[in-house]
């Protein structure tokens, strides 16, 4: 089994990185940055986002696993004290771990200019915001004009990203086994003159949306933790990607338990 580690860079993550490397040597795992079978992220959710973007061209052949060094993460569910157990499970033959994988949907983001087309992937979300002024953009769903958006911006999240920025914007939490995307408004202007739907829209796989920003306006885009400024975009198409991300789930950790622990955190009371 070939592995590579991405760590957050803090003291705790670096120490765990070193400990895992020593264990891996003893267990016969091979360090391989070019073509690992498993990418271990040590840190937080942001570290997993970095790992995903580093290896997004090899998604069909590798799996990700996360160990958190702060609070419990959505992508990082192993604790530092479980490092040795995790290393031993990873060292099992690949076939033995094959049925311990879960596949989650990603977003495909197609940026079109007058002369080019680029396709990007996002694990959490894509956002577009105006820079100097209110963002005005036409939003189409499945090639039909849906609304003219005015406001701070638009966030389009994957199911995995539904617990991230999307949730702060009031979007719904969606189980990552549902292949879909969610469009959520960021501070839309709604009055008697300007009107947007106001609710988040959840689009299934095979549907798409297009955003047509005003020509030549500077826009701030984000793909997960990565930001880029553009003023040359004619349109942006977002859909559920044909690629998926594979997480090694060496033991069950139900999504709803993660949501409960992350956002509620205490045992529900039966004392009504």
How far is it, in rounded angstroms, from Cα 169 to Cα 5? 32
Q: Which residues pair with 248 in a beta bridge?
A: 101
Closest CB to ligand NAD among 21 and 244? Answer: 244
Q: Could you say which residues in the range 194-233 bind ligand NAD, by CB under 6 A? A: 224-225
CB of 81 to ligand NAD, least distance (A): 20
CB of 160 to ligand NAD, least distance (A): 5
CA-nearest of 142, 161, 157 to 210 is 142
Total residues contacting ligand NAD (rule CB under 6 A)?
A: 16
Whole-Å CA distances, 163 to 73, 160, 171, 194: 11, 7, 9, 29
Closest CB to ligand NAD among 105 and 161? Answer: 161
Q: Which of 51, 90, 164, 240 binds ligand NAD (CB under 6 A)?
A: 164
Is there binding between residue 238 and ligand NAD (CB under 6 A)? no
Is there binding between residue 257 and ligand NAD (CB under 6 A)? no
Question: Which H or E run contains 11?
Answer: helix 11-27
Q: Which of 36, 66, 161, 213 binds ligand NAD (CB under 6 A)?
A: 161
CA-nearest of 195, 240, 213, 217 to 154 is 213
Options 45, 77, 152, 210, the catalytic residue: 45
CA-nearest of 93, 124, 119 to 106 is 124
CA-nearest of 95, 98, 73, 80 to 20 is 80
Q: Which residues pair with 67 in a beta bridge?
A: 42, 78
Closest CB to ligand NAD among 97 and 160? Answer: 160
- Which listed range, 55-63, 140-148, 163-171, 196-204, lies at the site for ligand NAD (CB under 6 A)? 163-171
CB of 168 to ligand NAD, least distance (A): 3
- Which listed range, 40-48, 81-89, 182-190, 235-243, lies at the site for ligand NAD (CB under 6 A)? 40-48
CB of 177 closer than 8 Å to CB of 58: no
Q: Catalytic site residue 45?
A: yes
Q: Which residues pair with 144 in a beta bridge?
A: 141
- Tell me which residues touch ligand NAD (CB under 6 A): 44-46, 49, 73-74, 124-125, 160-161, 163-165, 168, 224-225
Catalytic residues: 45
């Amino acid at each position: 089994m070939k592995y590579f580690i991405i760590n957050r860079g803090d003291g705790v993550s670096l120490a765990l990185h070193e400990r895992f490397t020593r264990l891996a040597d003893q267990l016969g795992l091979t360090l391989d940055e070019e073509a690992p079978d498993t990418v271990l992220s040590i840190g937080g959710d942001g570290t997993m986002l970095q790992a995903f973007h580093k290896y997004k061209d090899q998604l069909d052949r590798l799996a990700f696993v996360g160990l958190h060094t702060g609070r419990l993460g959505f992508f990082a569910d192993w604790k530092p004290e479980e490092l040795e157990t995790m290393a031993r499970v990873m060292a099992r033959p690949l076939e033995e771990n094959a049925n311990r994988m879960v596949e989650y949907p990603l977003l495909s983001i197609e940026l079109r200019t007058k002369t080019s087309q680029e396709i990007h992937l996002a694990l959490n979300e894509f956002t577009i915001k105006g820079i100097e002024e209110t963002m005005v953009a036409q939003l189409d769903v499945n090639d039909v004009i849906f609304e003219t958006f005015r406001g701070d911006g638009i966030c389009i999240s994957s199911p995995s990203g539904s617990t991230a920025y999307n949730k702060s914007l009031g979007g719904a939490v969606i189980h990552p086994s549902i292949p879909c995307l969610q469009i959520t408004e960021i501070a839309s202007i709604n009055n008697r003159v300007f009107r947007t739907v106001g609710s988040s829209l959840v689009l299934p796989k095979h549907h798409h949306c297009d955003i047509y920003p005003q020509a030549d306006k500077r826009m701030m885009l984000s793909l997960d933790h990565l930001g880029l400024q553009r003023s040359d975009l004619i349109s942006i198409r977002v859909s559920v990607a044909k690629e998926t991300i594979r997480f090694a789930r060496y033991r069950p950790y139900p999504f709803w338990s993660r949501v409960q622990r992350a956002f509620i955190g205490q045992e529900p009371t039966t004392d009504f």
